[in-house]
Amino acid sequence: MKKVFKFTETRSWYFELDVDDGAQVEEALAALVGTEGFNYYLTDRAEDEYKSEWDELSAGEKRTCCDHATEYFRKVADRELEGEARDMVLKSLCESE
């Protein structure tokens, strides 16, 4: 099931993620913080979202901002995390079909 999640550090980002019921999404995002792939994703998206607030975006624009976040974060976890952190992220974010 796809749901929008808000991640806040120094500012807020919104991700539409494909997750199972009971997924530990907040913990999964926290595990990804500090990885090169996660930081690159936030930096890359910051430019796209800088000029407009989330509420001002149309449904079509929101989808293009978030379309591949689930798949991308799974790849980052697989590549950059180990052990329990890696397993938790991969279990929390659904595999693309």
Predicted pLDDT at 20: 79
pLDDT in tens, the chain (97 residues): 888 888 887 777 788 888 878 888 889 999 999 899 998 888 776 655 544 555 666 666 555 445 588 899 999 999 999 999 999 999 999 886 5
DSSP letter at 58 equals -
Q: Where are the domains of the chain?
A: 2-92
Kind and range of the H or E run holding 59: helix 59-66
Predicted pLDDT at 47: 54
Instruction: From 12, 79, 21, select the one nearest 42 (Cα to Cα).
Output: 12
Predicted pLDDT at 49: 53
The pTM of the full predicted model, rounded to 2 decimals, is 0.71
Q: At what angle do helices 69-80 and 25-32 cross, to 10 degrees?
A: 60
